[in-house]
Structure formats: structure tokens, C-alpha cells
């Protein structure tokens, strides 16, 4: 007897917001030129506004689907970690394309594994606090403040 409900607990990957889906389609059809939707720093405000909720859903899905160990959990304060926001956006959009081809799925899983490694390297010891809801400002902030201010314009 086959258990037809064996995978009933598995949730589908979250769908991107319609505005983002339309933007992807327009770029694919070469109807418009613009940054990749994963380039969150380059997106216009109206597109950027629709991403945080979807990317949060993606993080929840990744945590539920893949986080078997505490160090695999993307912390709930991921938006406060600029490096995570950039990488999660890229990972989410890569996931949309990956499932068109089985070989690409393997590559996406390898990318996900490398993302987890980079996330843990970047979060360091603060990752444990963040994962339980105790986020603090960037620990390396003091080192960045040590850089001298750059003049706005330079004489050539």
C-alpha cells in the first residue's frame, strides 16, 4: 500500500508578489530594461516595497524546509543584516528559476549550502542571539566608523 499523504506536510515555495512577477515577465520579454529584481539596492521604490514580505515568507519556508540544526536557521532579524537581505533576495530569485531543470535544482541546493556557511561566518557569535530574538546593532560598526570621511569631489 502506498502512502499518498507522505509529502502532504511539504509546503510550496512562496510565490513572489504580482508586481515582481510582472517586472520579471517584462524584463524577460525585453519590454523594458532595468536591474535584476534580486538587485535590491538598485530597484525602484515601488518594487522594493513589495519585497520584504515575500522575502520574509521565503526565509520562513527555508527555515521550515531546510533548517534541521540551529545554525541553519535564518534569524528573524534578517532584514537588519544587510548582507543577509542581499543574499536572501538572490537565493529566492534563483530558486524561482532553478526548478525548471533538475540539474539546476542540484546547483541551487549547493548555493543554499554555501549561503548557510556565509551567513554563519558573517553572523559569528551574534547569530545565536539573533536566532532567539535578541538582535543587537552590527558588532563591526565601530570599525567602519574608523574610516575617514571621503571628500565628495576630487580635483583631477
Domain ranges of the chain: 18-135
Q: What is residue 44's DSSP assignment?
A: -
Exposure string of 39-77, with b = 16+ CB inside 10 Å and e = fewer, is ebeebeeebeebbeebbbbbbebbeeeeeeeeebbbbbb
Contact criterion met (CB below 8 Å) for 39 and 51:
no
The H-or-E segment that residue 27 falls in is helix 18-28
The whole-angstrom separation of Cα 67 and Cα 23 is 31
pLDDT value, residue 56: 97
The whole-angstrom separation of Cα 32 and Cα 156 is 36
Instruction: Look at phi and psi of residue 134 and say left if phi exceeds 0, alpha if psi is from -120 to 50, else beta.
Output: beta
Query: In degrees to the nearest 10, what's the CA dihedral of 45, 27, 25, 47?
Result: 0
pLDDT tens for the chain, residues 1 to 156: 566 688 888 899 999 999 999 999 999 888 778 899 999 999 999 999 999 999 999 999 999 999 999 999 999 999 999 899 999 999 999 999 998 889 999 999 999 999 999 999 988 888 888 888 888 777 666 677 777 888 875 555
pTM confidence score: 0.84
- Cα 73-48-15 angle, rounded to 5 deg: 60
pLDDT value, residue 131: 87
Amino acid at each position: 500500500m502506498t502512502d499518498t499523504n507522505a509529502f502532504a506536510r511539504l509546503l510550496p515555495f512562496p510565490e513572489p508578489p504580482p508586481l515582481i512577477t510582472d517586472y520579471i515577465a517584462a524584463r524577460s520579454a525585453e519590454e523594458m530594461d532595468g536591474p535584476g529584481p534580486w538587485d535590491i539596492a538598485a530597484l525602484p521604490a515601488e518594487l522594493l516595497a513589495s519585497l520584504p514580505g515575500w522575502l520574509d515568507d521565503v526565509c520562513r519556508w527555508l527555515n521550515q524546509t531546510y533548517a534541521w540544526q540551529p545554525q541553519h536557521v535564518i534569524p528573524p532579524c534578517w532584514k537588519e543584516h544587510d548582507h543577509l537581505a542581499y543574499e536572501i533576495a538572490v537565493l529566492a530569485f534563483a530558486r524561482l528559476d532553478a526548478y525548471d531543470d533538475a540539474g539546476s535544482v542540484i546547483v541551487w541546493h549547493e548555493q543554499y549550502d554555501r549561503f548557510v556557511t556565509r551567513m554563519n561566518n558573517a553572523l559569528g557569535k551574534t547569530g545565536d542571539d539573533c536566532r532567539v530574538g535578541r538582535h543587537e546593532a552590527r558588532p563591526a560598526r565601530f570599525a567602519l566608523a574608523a574610516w575617514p570621511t571621503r571628500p565628495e569631489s576630487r580635483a583631477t
